[in-house]
Structure 1
């Protein structure tokens, strides 16, 4: 039996990972396993019978102390010339007496590696815990059987539960307690698929979008189910708030458009054409923003002056002066004096006390420079200086004055082309075109012709105390006339018709701009039925209907009057005008 025990002990020592040295009561080596020799080489030539301190003096002191006191010497770090080791020395006892000592040793590197791995694991765990706990979404982790492993803080808030209430229990506890209307984790375990569903949390009254994802091990089995819950209650509320804001914004936009149009009517501004309506809205906005350096482009007679007055009337300076000058109407020297003023005796014929320029007169208000494309180069240079520093010096003067006025300029020239041709200062062009408004000619907005004609007719009837009307044939003429002179030509034509015409405003004595008499008023020819026998009944009826609408369109200024005359509803008139491609009217 003794031999069997000795063999068994020998086998145990030989198979251990650490080094083992066994010593007797005097500290002499009795046995050394191969692992100890490997760790201690080249100082590992240990022979049985030799004192341990002969080759390992530091270890020998620990053995001597242990044998003398009987106290174990544990976790001692010994640093030698060739190796660093960690040593444990313990006593062997028999019948209460110390019979020897056992020294176990290992390289310090193994302990450092283990400690490093342990620190890394701890650090990783801290990071993962921080990520999970600080996630704004609720996170549940269950094992492959559905037992809850982890519940983060956000999930506690969303579900109204504490982690200790559910960890270690099956996830079905949430349904069993009536906390949720349904649970997706068991279905994920059953199907092995990722599942998303909207849950209602009864305890907190929240709607949570729950997404459960399976995690598979190396054998393809579900090892975990990670569930991510996002609070949809606030998102739904935000969507509702956003929708309400959009509705309010749309109402405000519609209201602003309505207000704009009411303002246009109050100011006797006619704009039925979509482009013209947009132009007036832009001008209205610039006026309210007190914007300066506005450049209005358009053909002669298109209404540039009207738009400039519209900007002044609707701006913050409406109670201040609106000063207008035609830059093409005055010679160079006189234009400079008119714009910038002059001191007494500045030139022959000058007033003795001098004269304030138009810029000074427009202080606090608006200066409208019409036909600025014809302004002489020398005056352009002086105007550019004013735009830079807002200082004005009169002709012949020595004292500059600070002048604050908005500049609105207009021209029918292509200023960009003139700038390239060096007939207009390029730097002045770029200073003036901060905001460009291009007015289309009247021929490009036929919807405005009849409305403008009715507006001018009303104006001149009131001015001359008359009650003229436009005949059917006159309206047809207006609709087909090209109006190369734009709004000015139309205005002058209506004024002549009112002043010189008969009550129907279509006399032979009133002639157009080309010297031809306007067509006399005659009754419209009766509608011809059966326009084309080759066509079917529907086509012929539509042709007749279109002709009736066309004539009513030419005769009446609004769709309501057309509806009253034809004895149908106003929406019907609007719908049929659109159907037959006839221009829209005011209601």
Structure 2
């Protein structure tokens, strides 16, 4: 099918190449644009009648195949594809409603792009993308696969203190060399071929940026774009610095507060120069501030468990509420339950007519300290456990349960685990009281505290008795060489006696004699076993009296019974009063 000459000048005037072919894929027409295209690519052997594959190696085979389809034969078919340089479109050539061949139209890609830019939809999309690009609070750079800057947004202009036109078209390598930035993430991305994040310093604005470069790859796997995101972290770093300064200030304040706390401790008779005691008291403060329940104070007799209990109470939210203490070893079993829980009037012989409020009730929302809890009678242990579990108790002779509001702190110098094994202490109560165990070290294991303790109590008793007694380093050597089986209580008692009874101003000799009395060996004719035993017994009792305040405590310290202690004291004319 040939094209009339009067139409050929029209086809020669269009901007794209046109080639027609018949049903056998032989060329029937080429317009002038097609001839220019073919000549420019060394295909000047074109002519009408030639096989179309000879001049259109990509399009002609597709046209031949398409003309076999029903869609093309109806005149509805259309193929759009591209070669290395041009886009092409294949459509059926119809004559009187019958397919007579095919038309191949070829056009440069940039022509399509030029036309696309005129579309309203394209313009709207470009405007939207540009709005998003400029609205970002983060800086954005776009570079090509060689590192040449294609575009930057407004935020990046502000962050870097530059104008877009001063960098667009420049390679990032030259920008680094100019000193505008100290390093380029684009160069890192081009080298690593993966996303890279770096910290970047902008000299012009003195800003610190977190910069992330992300590569975009073409269909061949080569980088054709690098998109760089800049986030100004200068303020964040400033906040971090301020936070670090605040943290240091807080730590300083805590150190000062600790100093005040230690001063308060010293005023209360608690000295914590040793690492062990400081650690113990730090833990005690934490538990106190948490208002933790189930605190068990462990330690030998005289280590200061009652002082520690008061310290916990004073640092807890209950500090303004009552603090009551009961020595579980000091009450007979028959009265203990009534003392702890209270009793109604007439509950037992000798009970007050109006009844009595127990210590749990009197403590209210405060703290009840159970000292020597290992001495609790088993019957009372069961009722105490029920009270702790259910937060309520029944007074002796009462019918109505009362709410328990106080916190319980317990203390003992006994091995409760061993007592549990021997069935002398309830296992369930042991675990209920022993949620947080604080073990107070004996004085012989915290020798760093001895000097401060001695200085504190000499000052206390000098003021009390109107004295001006003092010690030298000799006393410190004496104290540090002594085991202090009665712990702090023994130290306090010996200082009290020294300040009150010693005639001289310096107490060194008194402490030497009291803690290391001379041992005189009798001559052979005076030697008497009974006399030696009495002398040793007398010396042991004196030391125990220094360390203890009750005959029960002396009995536990010396490993004997309380009646035996009473008898021995009477024998030697001693009295604890």
TM-score (norm 1): 0.61
Does structure 1 retain, via aligned residues, the 8 Å contact 2:199–2:208?
no
Instruction: Go from structure 1 to structure 2 and tell me whether the alpha carbon gap of 1:226 and 1:466 turns closer, same or farther (over 3 Å shift).
Output: closer
Alignment of 1:93-492 (within 5 A): 102-104=100-102, 136=138, 138-144=140-146, 146-151=147-152, 155=156, 158-159=159-160, 169-171=169-171, 180=180, 198-200=200-202, 202=204, 206-208=207-209, 229-470=230-471, 473-492=474-493
301-310 vs 205-214, which deviates more?
Answer: 205-214
The question of whether the paired residues in 1 share the 8 Å contact of 2:370 and 2:408 is answered with yes
Aligned residues between the structures: 440
Q: Distance in 2 between matches of 1:376 and 1:419?
A: 13
Please, which of 1, 6, 11 is the counterpart of residue 50 of structure 2? 11
Which residue does the alignment assign to 1:81?
A: none
1:105–1:232 CA distance, 2 compared to 1 (3 A): same
- For 2:183 and 2:309, how far apart are their aligned partners in 1? 70
Q: SS of 1:246's equivalent?
A: helix
Instruction: Give me the whole-angstrom Cα distance separating, in 2, the residues matched to 1:227 and 1:358.
Output: 73
Give the superposition deviation at 1:324. 1.4
Aligned with 1:324: secondary structure?
A: strand
Using the TM superposition, give the Cα deviation of residue 351 of structure 1 relative to its aligned residue in structure 2, in angstroms: 2.7
Against the structure 1 CA distance between its residues 517 and 312, is the aligned structure 2 distance closer, same or farther, given a 3 Å change threshold?
Answer: farther
SS at match of 1:483: coil
Stretch of structure 1 that moved more, 310-319 or 9-18: 9-18
Q: What displacement does 1:59 show?
A: 7.5
2: CA distance, partners of 1:367 / 1:190: 73
Which residue is 2:514 aligned to? Answer: 512
SS of the residue 1:367 aligns to: strand
Following superposition, the deviation at residue 502 of structure 1 comes to: 1.9
Residues 143 and 391 of structure 1, relative CA distance in 2, 3 Å threshold: closer
The alignment's TM-score, normalised by the length of structure 2, stands at 0.62
Structure 1: distance between partners of 2:495 and 2:72:
126
Instruction: Classify 1:427/1:137 alpha carbon distance in 2 versus 1 (closer, same or farther; 3 Å).
Output: farther
Q: 1:135 to 1:74 in 2, by over 3 A?
A: farther
2:498·2:510 contact (CA, 8 Å) conserved in 1? no
Contact conserved, 2:378 with 2:425, CA < 8 A, in 1? yes
Distance apart, 1:379 and its partner CA:
0.9
In structure 1, C-alpha distance between the alignment counterparts of 2:446 and 2:236, rounded to whole Å: 48
Q: Measured at CA, do residues 184 and 309 of structure 1 come closer, stay the same or move farther in structure 2, by a change above 3 Å? A: closer
Distance 1:197 1:212 in 2: 12
Q: 1:401 to 1:351 in 2, by over 3 A?
A: same
| C-alpha contact (below 8 Å) 2:197/2:210 kept by paired residues | no
Between the aligned partners of 1:515 and 1:189, the Cα distance in structure 2 is 86
- 8 Å contact kept, 1:142–1:150: no
| CA deviation after TM superposition for structure 1 residue 486, in Å | 0.5
Residue 291 (structure 1) shift: 3.4
> What SS does the corresponding residue of 2:500 show, helix, strand or coil?
helix
Q: Which runs of 5+ in 2 are unaligned?
A: 3-25, 29-45, 80-88, 105-121, 521-577
Q: Is the 8 A contact 2:140 2:227 kept in 1?
A: no
CA contact (8 A) 1:76 1:88 kept: yes
Deviation track 1:400-442 (CA, whole Å, cap 9, x = no partner) reads 1123112111011232343344332222222222332211000
The residue number in structure 1 matching 2:534 is none
- Given that 1:180 and 1:199 are in contact with CA atoms closer than 8 Å, whether structure 2 keeps it comes out as no
CA distance in 2, matches of 1:406, 1:484: 31
Aligned 8 A contact 1:497 1:506 in 2: no
Query: Residue 186 of structure 2 contacts residue 228 of structure 2 at CA under 8 Å; is this kept in 1?
Result: no
CA contact (8 A) 1:442 1:487 kept: yes
Q: 1:546: which partner in 2?
A: none
Deviation at 1:347, TM superposition (A): 2.2
